[in-house]
Structure 1
Amino acid sequence: MTSHAEHTAGRGTGRLRSLLAPLGAAALTGALFTYVGAVDPNAPGHYPTCPFLFITGLYCPGCGTLRTVHALAHGDVIAALGLNPLAVATIPFLLFWWGRWVLRAWQGRPRRTTLAHPAYIWAFLALVIVYWIVRNLPFGRFLAP
Structure 2
Amino acid sequence: MSGTAGRAARAPAAGAAPAASAVPAAPASASARRVFGHPAAGPLGALAVGAAAAAYLYRTDPHQPGHLLPRCPFNWATGLLCPVCGATRMAYDLLHADPVRAFHDNALLLLCTPFLLAVAGRWAALGLRGRRWRPVLGARASVAVAVLLVAWAVLRNVY
Within 1, Cα distance between the matches of 2:50 and 2:140?
27
Q: Aligned AA for 1:53? A: N
How far the C-alpha of 1:18 sits from its partner, in A, is 3.0
* Other-structure match for 2:155: 134
Q: 1:33 to 1:121 in 2, by over 3 A?
A: farther
How far the C-alpha of 1:20 sits from its partner, in A, is 2.3
User: Within 5 A, what are the aligned runs for 1:48-67?
Assistant: 48-67=70-89
Q: Aligned AA for 2:101? A: A
Q: Is the 8 A contact 1:97 1:115 kept in 2?
A: no
State the TM-score, normalized to the length of structure 2. Answer: 0.67
How far the C-alpha of 1:110 sits from its partner, in A, is 3.4
Q: Is the 8 A contact 2:40 2:130 kept in 1?
A: no
Root-mean-square deviation (CA), in Å? 2.3
Instruction: Give the SS at the match of 1:135.
Output: helix
1:100 aligns with 2:154: no
Within 1, Cα distance between the matches of 2:61 and 2:54?
12
* Other-structure match for 1:70: 92
* Other-structure match for 1:124: 145
* Identity value in percent: 36
Gaps of 5+ in 2: 1-33
Count of residue correspondences? 124
How far the C-alpha of 1:107 sits from its partner, in A, is 3.1
Q: Which runs of 4+ in 1 moved over 3 A?
A: 114-118
Gaps of 5+ in 1: 1-12
Q: 1:119 to 1:42 in 2, by over 3 A?
A: same
Q: 1:104 to 1:81 in 2, by over 3 A?
A: same
Q: Is the 8 A contact 1:58 1:136 kept in 2?
A: yes
* Other-structure match for 1:22: 43
Larger C-alpha radius of gyration, 1 or 2?
A: 2
